């Protein structure tokens, strides 16, 4: 994301960390909705040093992508056709050697029970900054957290089929200017008009105050009542904000949800205020707040369920807003 500024037991997940800021021991509660031990394991794997910071068009990015595909399969997320991968190219002048770069999105779906299909996209970018000056930027919060949450939501909806179809999108090259999501909306796997809403997860794993922000209701005010219902029932604080164009921290255009908004698809972005660690080499698994991350993933699941339960109404409200 761009901004301007495990060990499992049957009833308890205990993570020992070396972070002075968080203390020597964190305890992450179990969940009745998701496999919290697996969630933390996925986060740890994706943000490990051997992923080399998951930068687009690198060996580390390729290794991360292979893991995403493996976890999509395990979660019951099916590919469109015979492959999960959707390659794209883009030009950049910001790389060490300017020129064409190659990204690969990982895309899958879970079919809903209603026909004709209408789609909810659940998205997260899996790329990060790579290695800089010999330091690996592991990007645990940004955005191994959102990517790991995709697998948890996929597993849930495989076991509890949604009414409407879900597209799970792990985007590449977000850090290079939302390139993966831009490629997706230009060449979607389904008719773009059948995509009703995007739920984007980017940085949902570190907040000692249990605050998660929902961004997108300024542009899509008809979505706010659904999010307010979710906020009343989830274990963390789901707040609204960071979308006032007159304020410094306006996240309206800061992650892949903006590509959907530009394509006139309503989008909600869930993210935390991780100012201290953002785009720093200290954004590691050991400095995450695990209980918050589990609660944020449960909240993302609750939003997806709320959208699914009300997608026909959302589609009508979206059409009314366009008139």
Cβ–Cβ < 8 Å for 111, 293: no
Maximum distance among all Cα pairs of the chain, rounded to whole angstroms: 56
How many domains does the structure of the chain reveal?
1
Residue 1 lies in a domain: no
Residue 97 lies in a domain: yes
d(CA 172, CA 161): 27
Residue 2 lies in a domain: no
Residue with tokens 């609660």: 295
Cβ–Cβ < 8 Å for 65, 180: no
Residue 59 lies in a domain: yes
Q: List per-block mean pLDDT (blocks of 10 residues) for the chain, which spans 323 residues.
A: 43 40 60 97 98 98 98 98 98 70 98 93 98 96 98 98 98 96 98 98 97 98 98 97 91 96 98 89 96 98 98 94 72
| Beta-bridge mates of residue 137 | 130
Residue 183: predicted pLDDT: 98
Residue 126 lies in a domain: yes
Residue 191: predicted pLDDT: 97
Using DSSP bridges, classify how beta strands 211-215 and 237-240 pair: parallel, antiparallel or unpaired: parallel
Residue with tokens 């970018």: 125
Residue 207 lies in a domain: yes
Residue 321: predicted pLDDT: 79
Q: What is the CATH number of the domain that holds 148?
A: 3.40.630.10
Residue 8: predicted pLDDT: 36
Choose among 145, 158, 171: nearest CA to 299. 145
Residue 110: predicted pLDDT: 98
Q: Which residues are within 8 A (CB) of 322 and not within 5 positions of it... i.e. 6 or more apart?
A: 264
Residue 185 lies in a domain: yes
Residue 323: predicted pLDDT: 63
Cβ–Cβ < 8 Å for 266, 197: yes
Q: Which domain holds residue 147?
A: 7-322
Residue 180 lies in a domain: yes
Residue 10: predicted pLDDT: 35
d(CA 88, CA 27): 41
- DSSP for 191-236, written as a single string: -GGGEEEEEEE-S-S--TT-EEEEE-TTT-GGGHHHHHHHHTTSSS
């Amino acid at each position: 994301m761009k901004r301007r500024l495990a060990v499992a037991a049957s009833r308890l997940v205990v993570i020992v960390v070396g972070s002075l800021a968080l203390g020597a021991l964190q305890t992450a509660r179990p969940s009745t909705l998701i496999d919290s031990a697996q969630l933390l394991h996925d986060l740890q794997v994706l943000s490990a040093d051997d992923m080399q910071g998951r930068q687009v068009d690198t060996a580390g990015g390729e290794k991360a992508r292979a893991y995403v595909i493996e976890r999509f399969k395990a979660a019951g997320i099916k590919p469109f056709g015979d492959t999960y991968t959707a390659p794209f190219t883009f030009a950049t002048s910001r790389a060490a050697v300017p020129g064409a770069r190659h990204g690969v999105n990982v895309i899958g779906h879970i079919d809903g029970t209603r026909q004709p299909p209408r789609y909810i996209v659940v998205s997260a970018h899996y790329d990060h900054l790579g290695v800089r000056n010999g330091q690996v930027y592991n990007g645990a919060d940004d955005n191994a957290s959102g990517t790991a949450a995709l697998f948890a939501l996929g597993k849930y909806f495989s076991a509890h089929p949604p009414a409407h179809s879900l597209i799970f999108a792990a985007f590449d090259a977000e850090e290079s200017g939302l390139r993966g999501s831009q490629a997706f909306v230009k060449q979607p796997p389904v008719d773009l008009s059948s995509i009703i809403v995007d739920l984007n997860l980017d940085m949902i794993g570190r907040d000692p105050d249990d605050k998660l922000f929902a961004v997108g209701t300024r542009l899509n005010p008809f979505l706010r009542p659904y999010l307010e219902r979710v906020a009343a029932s989830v274990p963390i604080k789901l707040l609204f904000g960071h979308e006032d164009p007159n304020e410094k921290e306006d996240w309206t255009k800061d992650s892949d949800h903006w590509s959907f908004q530009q394509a006139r698809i309503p989008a909600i972005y869930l993210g935390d205020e991780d100012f201290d660690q953002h785009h720093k080499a200290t954004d590691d698994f050991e400095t995450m707040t695990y209980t918050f991350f589990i609660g944020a993933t449960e909240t993302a699941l609750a939003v997806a369920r709320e959208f699914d339960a009300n997608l026909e109404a959302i589609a009508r409200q979206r059409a009314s807003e366009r008139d």
